[in-house]
């Protein structure tokens, strides 16, 4: 079982425009409305590939009801936790050349009691051997160490935590350790270690600093340049030919879902990375936060390089 927790979910509304006219009138050629939030995107991608998944999420107001309704046609099992306030709605403007502009709402403020109900819903869902994905920003009101508390609760149930967040929550979790896999991008990792990362060697060294504090592995997204997987003893890079994206929103979440799906099937770390990158590449070719099915994923198009040269520039991979 792969359980996702999205503390600050959203209804994602994406508008396709030819070219964004700032300060003018823009007419959308199409509108896409999806259930959004990093953990929800992971669950949606997993479900599209028949991988069992449960999504735990807080819901409030009309958009909270819409969020649950949008997930109903999928194979995602939903554990909705009622909270005060309204679930947020995020806006994405997608231009024909692939440029994406996002406007993310803050979301409702959750108090300590609401946070405790979210944790309880996860604990009641997971068992030994399960994977829990804590994903996305934390809503106002939750402490930066919320994911640290989640990691401890998950371990007590014999499960493990995979983490995809940034800023203060990532710093707190990295310092505390106890995370099986973290998925920062290169900018988030640079912020975490407090220095610029320009080469593969820089990224690997920074990742291993995080591993030394108790995280087992890092999946570092490099955007259009693929991804690096770093463990205590090895690192791999994977990518594919250049693509013209329809939307990059949610592609990193689909990348993580691909990694977890391959891991769920018993693949080794290198094949998990190849699968992850293939899923992410398929996602960027779809509008909005749509997730790709098996027919759109091309693992053979992904090149895998074990232990790439440390001096290689990240942006030249």
Task: Give me 233's structure tokens.
Answer: 């003893």
Q: Name the DSSP letter for residue 160.
A: E
Count of residues in the chain: 317
Determine how β-strand 100-103 pairs with β-strand 88-95.
Answer: antiparallel
Neighbouring CB atoms inside 10 A of 128's CB total 7
Catalytic site residue 16?
A: no
Catalytic residue among 12, 202, 253, 271: 253
- Contacts for 170-177: CB closer than 8 Å, 24+ residues apart: 171/144, 172/144, 172/145, 172/147, 172/148, 173/145, 173/147, 173/148, 173/215, 174/210, 174/213, 174/215, 175/213, 176/145, 176/148, 176/151, 176/213, 176/214, 177/213, 177/214, 177/215
Burial of 280: CB neighbours in 10 Å, binned 0-12, 13-18, 19+: buried
By annotation, the residues acting in catalysis are: 253
């Amino acid at each position: 079982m792969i359980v996702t927790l999205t503390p600050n979910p959203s209804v994602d509304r994406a508008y396709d425009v030819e070219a964004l006219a700032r300060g003018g009138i823009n007419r959308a050629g199409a509108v896409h409305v999806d259930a959004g939030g990093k953990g929800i995107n992971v669950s949606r991608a997993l479900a599209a590939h028949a991988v069992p998944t449960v999504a735990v999420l807080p819901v409030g107001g009309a958009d909270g009801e819409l969020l649950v309704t949008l997930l109903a046609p999928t194979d995602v099992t939903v554990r909705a936790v009622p909270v005060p306030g309204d679930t947020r709605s995020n806006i994405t403007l997608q231009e024909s050349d692939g440029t994406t502009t996002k406007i993310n709402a803050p979301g409702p403020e959750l108090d300590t009691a609401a946070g405790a109900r979210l944790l309880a819903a996860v604990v009641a869902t997971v068992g030994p051997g399960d994977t829990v994905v804590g994903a996305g920003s934390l809503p106002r009101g939750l402490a930066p160490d919320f994911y640290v508390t989640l990691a401890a609760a998950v371990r007590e149930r014999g499960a493990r935590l995979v983490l995809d967040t940034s800023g203060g929550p990532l710093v707190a979790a990295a310092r505390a350790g106890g995370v099986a896999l973290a998925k920062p991008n290169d900018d988030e990792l640079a912020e975490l270690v407090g220095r610029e990362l320009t080469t593969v060697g820089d990224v690997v060294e920074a990742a291993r600093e995080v591993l030394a504090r108790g995280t087992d592995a890092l999946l570092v997204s490099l955007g259009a340049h693929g991804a690096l997987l770093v463990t205590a003893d090895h690192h791999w890079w994977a990518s594919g030919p250049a693509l013209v994206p329809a939307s990059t929103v949610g592609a990193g979440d689909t990348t993580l879902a691909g990694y977890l799906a391959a891991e769920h099937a018993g693949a080794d770390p290198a094949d998990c990375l190849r699968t992850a990158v293939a899923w992410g590449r398929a996602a960027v070719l779809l509008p909005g936060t749509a997730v790709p099915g098996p027919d759109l994923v091309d693992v053979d198009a992904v090149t895998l390089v074990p232990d790439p040269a440390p001096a290689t520039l990240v942006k030249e991979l």
